[in-house]
Amino acid sequence: MCEFRPLIAGSALLRVAGCPIRLWTQAGNPQVFQKLRQLNVLQEHYDDLGKGLADCLGRSLVPQTSLSREERAFVLTVRRHLFHGTPLRERDCQQLMALADRCLGSSSPLLKELEHARICSRNIRARECEASRDITQEQERVLQLPWEFVCATPIARALLQRMNPLVYREVEAQVRRRGQMNNRKRRQSSDYLW
């Protein structure tokens, strides 16, 4: 009978190839992924909140006879946004709260729900901006890693020189003009080095 022998793991292959695994793990950033998970949880919470709030608007505020045609159209538009999980703009929340207060009274539970939706919307927008900024910074950092690896690691230089001296000279030239390359060219060159 044939005995099963597992293949060498990827990390062992990297070590055999002379590329320490720590250099590969630097390409990951758990903090960015943690922030994205938190944003996802907040958006899921807002989706549930939005659907419930949209139903409540449809039952309590839309049928109010004191609403003008434009106000009702506004409430229906906001209701549609809530069903789709789109964070509300601050101005829309304030206008909706004013309508609910006028039509249903200041003791309406709808006002508390709208305030919660306003806070959630604000938090989502802030976290989306932060995530976008973090992703841009992370992309820039990851673009730089292979160049730093080649410049700072004698093993990488030796591997490139042995593999193909022409490639090594090209990499050296690209390292020197790294700041002058456009983003697409930098990305392609970084992908090649990885």
Domain layout of the chain by residue ranges: 29-139, 153-194
Q: Give the pLDDT of residue 1.
A: 42
CB-based contacts of 173-180 (< 8 A; 24+ apart in sequence): 174/147, 175/147, 175/150, 175/151, 178/147
Q: Give the pLDDT confidence of 99-130 residue by residue, as tens digits.
A: 999 999 888 899 999 999 999 999 999 999 99
Residue 12: count of CB within 10 angstroms of its CB: 11
Is residue 188's pLDDT more than 50?
yes
